[in-house]
Amino acid sequence: MAYYVYILECSNGSFYTGYTTDLERRYKEHQQGTAKCKYTRSFPPKKITAYWELDSLSEALKLEIHIKSLTKKQKFSFIKKEFKRGKRGQSWHLGIFKND
């Protein structure tokens, strides 16, 4: 089973980080306000800025915790650094989904 860690850019310009096993479903839930996430109900996502596909829940949770510990400026740097490095041994994608 694949696990995804993702970073959303929200309508207020902030980033929201989460994890899921179904990225497309979870993104739709955030967009529609049906996710259990109060933050994205208040500040709907504009797009998925980046996401990583990992093989284990443990690795996904470690990455999510690491990203959540960063400031916004550090998140920008992390995304840029990861994009330049290419894959982290997992699938790496930048800004694939956007609101319709």
Domains contained in the chain, number: 1
Position 35 in a domain: yes
Inside any domain, residue 99: no
Evaluate whether residue 44 is within a structural domain.
yes
Cα atoms in the Cβ-side hemisphere of radius 13 Å centred on 61: 3
Q: What CATH number did the domain enclosing 40 receive?
A: 3.40.1440
For residue range 30-89, what is the model confidence (pLDDT) as tens digits?
Answer: 999 988 889 999 999 999 988 998 899 999 999 999 999 999 999 988 888 877 665 544
Q: Provide the pLDDT for residue 85.
A: 63
pTM of the model: 0.83
In a domain, 71, yes or no: yes
Phi-psi region of 13 (alpha: psi -120 to 50; beta: other; left: phi over 0): left
Domain that holds residue 47: 3-51+60-94
For residue 42, being part of any structural domain is answered with yes
The dihedrals phi and psi of 51, each to the nearest 5 degrees, come to -150, 155
- The verdict on residue 36 lying in a domain is yes
Tokens for 16, please give them. 């929201």
| Residue 100 domain flag | no
Higher pLDDT, 92 or 66: 66
